[in-house]
Structure 1
Amino acid sequence: MNFKLARQTRVLVIDDQVLAKGYLKYSLEELGFQNIEYADKVNTALTYIRRNHYDLIVCSYDLQNEQDGYFLYDQLKEQNQLPASTAFVFISAETTADIVHSIVELQPDDFLAKPFTVSELGQRLERLLTRKRALQDVYHLIEDSTLDKALLKLEGFLTEPKNSEFFPLALKLKGELLLACGQYSDAQEFYEAIINVQNFTWAQLGLVKSYIALDKDEEAEKLVIELALKRDSLLAAYDLLAALQIKHQEFEDALENVEIAGQISPRNLHRHTKALDLSRLTHNYESQFEAAKKIVKIAKNSIHDNPDIYLNVARAGIDFAMTSDEQHTKRLIKQSTEYLKQLKSHFPKADIDDQLKVINARLLYLDDETDNAKALLDQLSDNNWETESIEALLDKAKAFHEVGIQEHALKILDVIERRCNQDSTQSHLFLQYVRQEKSEKTEIKLSPKDLNNQAVNQYQRGDLKSALQTFRQAFTIMPKNPSIALNLLQAAAINLQEMSGEEATQTLSGDLIYNCLKTIESGTLDEEQERRYQRVRSVLKNLG
């Protein structure tokens, strides 16, 4: 280790294990580091980092149930509180695949697996700090948000032969700056030139981002599918593929890819949040519930742990229960109630009375106590819509719609849409979901729970056209429910028998029938439903 470099380096060590911190202190002092500070809690570390500039931060990944080290770095990056000139190193005793994936996709400057020797630590830190020092002028310009000047400085750096050992890092940084500056055509040309010399994974991923920004989606898709087959680019490729699919409104495919990536690297909270938004857009209530539960599991004991995430699990469980059979509904209500108990235990002083009233009103409605649900909703004030959380308002809109007060629900959705349009931090996916909710609740007056019952009654009375229309509305908001799909398919088959060819084409599209078949084939039917399904298939086959 270069002792001069070590003595010039200001270090922050973040570790809550006494023995580990002691060994790290000994190792760093042996290597010549003198200006060392220590933090054993995330909040303490955040305070230090906001007040001081550190050249090196060495952080244990395994803080508080292996959570906070990960989320500390994630928060620092997201809130732009980690200077580009600061070297950040993770250390961890755990090297399981999901932890390694989680750390690698965060892209810290380095990662050391315990145990390591003083010599190994010295070699890694010297290499890292030398790179940071060589490019410090560029990093300082990035910290000042003068990215165009940073790019010019980097261009000059790359013309100096004496800097050749740092060219790989500098070239990667140049591509990132071109993208950050919005110079997408130049970025495409740059990445293609790099790939012609050597097929670096980072250059291929950068080229995909350039293609997407330039609306060259076919080229982007072709390349990203190739990258999804490579281990070192797997996660980034799934994310980029999902981004492409979201761009083209292919939300079901995007959800599938986000969920796959979430299984590979399960600690990425942002990815599970995206899965939740995509689940809502696709009316995939089971995936929504699972994503909400994962967010609670991952965020527990971290800086992201708060009452809202527990409330969101309960809300997602109720959404799912609204579209499920009686037996499944009881299990979902029990699970949702359990998360509310966890909330009260973890946050006993949380001010959530109104939000719990809304949730309890929805539970009463599920239990066929509509009048009691309305009475509970009547206790709520309309004066705080501008200050309530978006999720609380959304749940309130659903509750009013379910009990039949449609106009009030739509007014709340208007407020949500306006607030989302004014809030740049709200995701575009969530805004699309709000608009979808508003459109569907304007057209469909009944709740998911009531739609199928009304359609069955219409069908039994022989009012086939009304039944078909109501089943279609039910399938619109419950496209994953095989029972709904079967009922719609059966009503469609009977109606098709009575229609002319042209009238049938106008009334029922092939896509609708295909989607019903897809839902049924991927779901589970009981014996009676299976017999009905086979009869319906025979009718459809005879009709061609």
Structure 2
Amino acid sequence: MNPANSPLFSARAARAGGDDDAAAGLQRAYANQGMEIDYGSKRFLVIDAVQEMRSAMNATLSSFGVTKIEYAHRATEAIGVIKRGNHDVILCDYDLGNGYDGLHLLEELKLRNLIKPSAIFMVVTGERRARMVISAAELAPDDYLLKPFTGEELKQRLDRIYGKKMAFEDLDAAMLNEDYFKALAECNERIAAKDPFLLDFLKLKGKIALTIGDHGMARDTYQTVLNARDVPWAKMGLAKALFHLKDYSTARQMFEALLAENNRVMEAYDWLAKIHQAEHEHVEAQGMLQRAVELSAANVSRQKKLGEVAMRNGDFDTAVKSFQQTINVAKFSFWRDAGDYSSLAKAHLGKGDVMEAAKVAADVRREFRYDQKAEMLATVVETQVAIKQGNESRAQQLLNKAKQQFAGVANEVPDNYALELAEACYRLGEDAAGGEIVQKVLRNHHEDAAVLERVSNLYSAVDRADLGQAMIEETARAIVGINNEAVRMAQSGDIQGAVQKFIQAVEEMPANVQVMLNAVNAMLAYVTRNGWHQEYMETAQLYLDKVKSLEPASVKYLKLRDAYNTARRRFRT
């Protein structure tokens, strides 16, 4: 039997395709009918801008015993309420005003880890077109409900979702702990057993595969779904997998097909822009992102990306507009970042609007007055303004101040802030200082494509593209050399020497994920051969914790974490 032929698979597919009546019937037939939920003990949050709708929802919820209800009328208020509470169910209107919707709110809540895995997040909407956007979204809610609806209809949906939440309880814990291998194993078991929630397990398996970078597995998983049913999220997932596998042509066709079906599947625009960039079609990438922001202007990452692409294309008017919108949308959110102000200032300077750029520096000092890193960045912006004005003496004074500020926070400064300082150094002829900053960034991120692109753009901006490429290649060779030397030491029997070599490398490159993982690998090899070593195992744990904070989905990290836990059990039982 094709796994996609399970009854609940059909129910999910029916809902995704818009056949709500068929879906509801199938779900009722296969829901956990024996489960009685005590809704009087559950904490509800209703998010809706309209007072009358909040009042109506109160009556609807009361009809099936809900007594603990809180309310919010906008996203920022909702986040504050959620921080204070421990809500079991969040009912959120799709349209939250100013271009911000329930999916944007859900994304922020997930990224900030503000809602527990067992919480239900349901979107309520009066727009039938919204359901296709919701069904294709990357961070989809647990369900959505079209207005108007009765208390019985809402209760039936909640009953079904609670059944699913219980089925996914073990997986929720694994996902929360970022134990992706355990989650994958559980998914595979449930899929093989033709679980009633089969489609959900296939969807989660595809998501995990994309997260850990196993794009072949993701492709095969989503293709399994599509072989049986035409569901938008599976098309989206398959297209993403094909992009990562560099099958840009097929991926492009799939994203375009999604937009042909529904032009508000916003992720498709973002991925089409990525394809254009991968194929060096930067003007086309900008056009695709502009189409997207015209439909949905309240997405921070999309506005920021549009600004970056526009800067690359020399379209400073669009860059100014996009970075300003980025700041406006992010101002009271998780995405608030002084780096966006710096980007706005550079766009103003690109237009020759020095006074506006100077105002941006003042804005940074006001908006981030207690942030030393932002203070340093504001000084860099002022340096750039002075350079544009031709006031070299003031520019040099400001650069000296920025370097002093940088010295106090060098290990905490985001890479993009550091690279802005490096560019200012190069523009004032301080090549050694600029090169030292760039090299530190490169040594910590020698395999990070985004960082390498930023470095290349920096050197192109100061007309030193050849030097930038040489630094990138030299840094990569140096790190490979360290690794090769340590491997030779280990192969010759000097595992302890290899461990010390890697520890020294980590001290020099404290944020380099690959170097830390190589060090852990060497320490585990030492323990396997020579027995327990307390200091090495403590250091390995420290490095693994650091990598988890930087790249929790790294397959190498996940394997080494399992190997570390195995070693602990072996020697400490």
Q: TM-score range by the shorter chain?
A: 0.5 to 0.7
Partner of 1:169: 200
Q: 1:347 to 1:116 in 2, by over 3 A?
A: farther
Q: 1:429 aligns with which of 444, 447, 450?
A: 450
Q: 1:343 to 1:117 in 2, by over 3 A?
A: farther
Q: How far apart are the structure 2 equivalents of 1:431 and 1:257?
A: 24
Q: How far apart are the structure 2 equivalents of 1:184 and 1:345?
A: 44
Q: How far apart are the structure 2 equivalents of 1:102 and 1:334?
A: 43
Q: How far apart are the structure 1 equivalents of 2:330 and 2:308?
A: 17
Q: 1:186 to 1:91 in 2, by over 3 A?
A: closer
Structure 1 residue 274, shift from structure 2 partner: 2.6
Say whether 1:258 aligns with 2:289: yes
SS state at 1:384 partner: helix
Q: How far apart are the structure 2 equivalents of 1:32 and 1:357?
A: 58
Partner of 1:240: 271
Aligned residues: percent identity?
A: 22
Structure 1 residue 262, shift from structure 2 partner: 2.9
Partner of 2:430: 407
Structure 1 residue 299, shift from structure 2 partner: 1.6
Q: CA RMSD in A?
A: 4.3
Q: 2:464 aligns with which of 443, 464, 476?
A: 443
Partner of 1:288: 319
Partner of 2:120: 87
Q: 1:56 aligns with which of 89, 94, 106?
A: 89
Q: How far apart are the structure 1 equivalents of 2:135 and 2:235?
A: 21
CA contact (8 A) 1:296 1:309 kept: yes
Structure 1 residue 231, shift from structure 2 partner: 1.0
Structure 1 residue 266, shift from structure 2 partner: 1.9
CA contact (8 A) 1:98 1:264 kept: no
CA contact (8 A) 1:228 1:237 kept: yes
Whichever residue aligns with residue 185 of structure 1, its letter is G
Q: How far apart are the structure 2 equivalents of 1:355 and 1:185?
A: 42
Structure 1 residue 240, shift from structure 2 partner: 2.6
Listed as ranges, the matches of 1:278-317 within 5 Å are 278-305=309-336, 307-317=338-348
**Which string of whole-angstrom CA distances, capped at 9 and with x for unpartnered residues, describes residues 285-307 of structure 1?**
44432321120121233343455
TM-score by length of 2: 0.60
Structure 1 residue 432, shift from structure 2 partner: 0.8
CA contact (8 A) 2:345 2:361 kept: yes
Q: 1:31 to 1:63 in 2, by over 3 A?
A: same
Q: 1:384 aligns with which of 393, 400, 406?
A: 406
Partner of 1:270: 301
Q: How far apart are the structure 1 equivalents of 2:376 and 2:186?
A: 55
Whichever residue aligns with residue 183 of structure 2, its letter is A
Structure 1 residue 32, shift from structure 2 partner: 2.3
Structure 1 alignment gaps of length 5 or more? 322-328, 446-544
Q: 1:47 aligns with which of 64, 70, 83?
A: 83
TM-score by length of 1: 0.63
Partner of 2:161: 128
Partner of 2:563: none
Q: 1:290 to 1:429 in 2, by over 3 A?
A: farther
Q: 1:270 to 1:197 in 2, by over 3 A?
A: same
Q: 2:219 aligns with which of 183, 188, 213?
A: 188
Q: How far apart are the structure 2 equivalents of 1:145 and 1:87?
A: 20
Partner of 2:391: 369
Structure 2 alignment gaps of length 5 or more? 1-27, 467-573
**Which string of whole-angstrom CA distances, capped at 9 and with x for unpartnered residues, describes residues 134-166 of structure 1?**
4444444433434344344344444667x55x4
Structure 1 residue 116, shift from structure 2 partner: 5.4
Q: 1:264 to 1:159 in 2, by over 3 A?
A: same
SS state at 1:107 partner: coil
Structure 1 residue 421, shift from structure 2 partner: 5.1
Whichever residue aligns with residue 289 of structure 2, its letter is V
Aligned length: 425
**Which string of whole-angstrom CA distances, capped at 9 and with x for unpartnered residues, describes residues 470-527 of structure 1?**
xxxxxxxxxxxxxxxxxxxxxxxxxxxxxxxxxxxxxxxxxxxxxxxxxxxxxxxxxx
**Which string of whole-angstrom CA distances, capped at 9 and with x for unpartnered residues, describes residues 374-406 of structure 1?**
34445544462415454444444444444xx22
Q: 1:249 to 1:429 in 2, by over 3 A?
A: farther
Q: 1:150 aligns with which of 183, 206, 217?
A: 183
Q: 1:193 to 1:108 in 2, by over 3 A?
A: closer
Q: 1:149 to 1:99 in 2, by over 3 A?
A: closer
CA contact (8 A) 1:102 1:268 kept: no
Q: 1:278 to 1:269 in 2, by over 3 A?
A: same
CA contact (8 A) 2:203 2:222 kept: no
Q: 1:308 to 1:151 in 2, by over 3 A?
A: closer
Q: 1:252 to 1:413 in 2, by over 3 A?
A: farther
